[in-house]
Chains A and B, each alone.
Chain A
């Protein structure tokens, strides 16, 4: 009954002591990440799980282990190689290494663990240590502050008893706090606030990185300028490619960090003109003997003409200044306030409990170092620190976004570049559409020629024979009439198949929704349907979507080893969206299958897209989207 109360101060001490491992944990994670040592970066999970278990048991709060299950061992490709991105490996080592990093970093529990390591020594320790502190203070007070025994002794006794009495409650509070960060519990206000703070911290860190990258960017810009000196011009393409890699990487990073999408602005690779009759290549007014030289010259011209080259250069020159300016305030304020005022105050206070050492006096980062703060008592340091940290890190979020917007201004494509890209894309899809159309016409012509037309020729010949026989041998003529009728029936069947291939009757009569229902009925698979379509798309779009679904269903029954398919058809945001999900083996890849590529190409004519999500082991979801308007 009283066991809980008796044990609470001791348990609080143990939890507090375990909580102190946050420092080494943080160091391990940092070192592990810095040097790419997975086991080191992941090591903290075991002691943290012990903490979870103990805190859960002693504080009366259930704290389940929130980590996602580790990735499965990599599967080799059919040819026995292991593929990572666009490289093949003989052993699965690299692949599983990368997958484990992915698993570690992408787990939302990881970032919450780190937030816990940063703020638990400050915030969590209070509740864990308070019961024992009360007991110890109560027990030792009569000796340290003798005063009037009539008052001191009862107060001391009450304090000590309070330490036992409120112990379980304080521990429960500690458990609740721990649960907010260390369990994958449901969403709550506190949790959202903590996550927001965490996001602010992340933004601060990213701003710091942005400022740190300034050095690289400045170096790249200077190299670029240097390479434009006439005698060093031979190095220009190399420097340019390196610079573009840097800006492309930053584009991608900015998109990941802020969600601001920055498209590649560069002109497409130049295409070599056909050689002249004498075998030389004409670029401008110069003739080149080898295609390599011609291409090189073309690249020079193209790059110099490309506005994006100069905008990149301008960005590389200016971004260091902008980045440092934007990062300065939040990074310095947050860093100083958090590490200088809170973090070190907490650790210094802790150390002072155990060693007789005036840390506050000799800790330069603390208030003594800053003249204004030096006038205030030491205890205000964490208070100022909390306010400063919150302000700084919350300021970091919009500033990071501001940096993204500024980069978008120079790194993004200009309107004319976008138009140029659109023209290229349209040229390409037009060519593909032309190709598809002509091959379709060829197919129809061939089918007619080999099928129906041949049947009709045979029929004509039979009719001729009948004409000749009808007087001489009526019986034979009669049999021949029968075969002629059969030939006409066959010709009809051929025609029917042909029409189905060009413009399926149900599609023409009822539209895409019923046509897909018809496909579902004809499919050997068990097909579930969900169709939500308020009208009919334009006919060409309908037809493209129909043939895409038909091809995808055929694909599924051929390759996926699936038994069930679910088709979801809907119209949202001016797009016809059709998703096919099967329960097959997965591993579908447009890069490998010509069928999926074909569908992609045909949809491209309508600015449509095809997305394939197909992990090994399934399930596969293929989603196609075509922008269109509906008629009722």
Chain B
């Protein structure tokens, strides 16, 4: 799998390159700034781009802007955004175009290499990987609103894991319940949220997040 990487910290850039190579990825380009990212993705057409939020020269949200621009130029380009902190606002913006293939993770998720690589693969395949911190905040700030308030604790857990991008099997593994129980919970969540016909992993997460999006911005 071919990866383009943009990260301004030398140590982290090198570390990520090693980590990815060790897990069988091919890092075709590792650059430092937003404009470089744009040329790199246009030149190499990678399977996934990993982007840091803060980049030189302004160290504001240049990486995020570059990611948006890259996806505008190459629609559906899978992008995994890494950040020192996670913000609902950014997560919503990233998900806004609805085409999936988006990840938004805290930088320290890299510590757990297998989970990180797993998330990266999911994004590259068109899935979604949201940081658990984003998800819990989303659910927390929407919890008082109907109909999310009607979800049972277990259903909410399942919903959170779904939003992180877990498949049914992964959810059943994480929650120590059978896959049948997971699909039953998911069906019940969809029922309560009025979501119909969403079998595919990527679309169901987007549907949930889009719903959460609309719920707080009435």
Contacts and interface: CB of A to CB of B under 8 A. Distances in A.
B184 interface: no
Contacts, number: 46
Interface string B109-142: 0010000000000000000000000000100110
A485 B88 contact: no
A558 interface: no
Given A485-B111, A489-B108, A509-B61, A524 B140 contact: yes
A524 B144 contact: yes
A524 B141 contact: yes
Contact of A526 (B53, B88, B137, B145): B145
A499 interface: yes
A510 B92 CA distance: 15
A522 B85 contact: no
Interface stretch (A160-168, A376-384, A513-521): A513-521
A506 interface: yes
A335 B124 CA distance: 90
B89 to A, nearest CB: 4
Given A509-B53, A518-B88, A521-B216, A489 B141 contact: no
B141 A499 contact: no
B141 A522 contact: yes
Contact of A510 (B60, B144, B145, B218): B60
A521 B60 contact: no
B54 interface: yes
Contacts of B60: 508-510
Interface residues on B, range: 20 to 34
Contacts of A521: 88-89, 92, 141, 216
A527 B142 CA distance: 11
A524 B92 CA distance: 17
- Main DSSP-derived SS at the A contact region: helix
Interface string A190-224: 00000000000000000000000000000000000
Interface string B82-111: 001101111010000000000000001001
A505 interface: yes
Contact of B108 (A492, A499, A505): A492
A514 B85 CA distance: 15
Interface string A325-350: 00000000000000000000000000
B61 A522 contact: no
B185 to A, nearest CB: 25
A500 interface: yes
A500 B108 CA distance: 17
A522 B88 contact: yes
A488 B85 contact: no
Interface string B135-173: 001001101110000000000000000000000000000
Given A518-B88, A520-B216, 17 more contacts: A489-B108, A492-B108, A496-B84, A496-B85, A499-B85, A505-B85, A505-B87, A506-B87, A506-B90, A509-B53, A509-B60, A510-B60, A517-B89, A518-B89, A521-B88, A526-B216, A527-B216
Interface of B: 53-54, 60-61, 84-85, 87-90, 92, 108, 111, 137, 140-141, 143-145, 216, 218
10 contacts: A485-B111, A488-B111, A505-B87, A508-B60, A510-B60, A523-B141, A524-B141, A524-B143, A524-B144, A527-B216
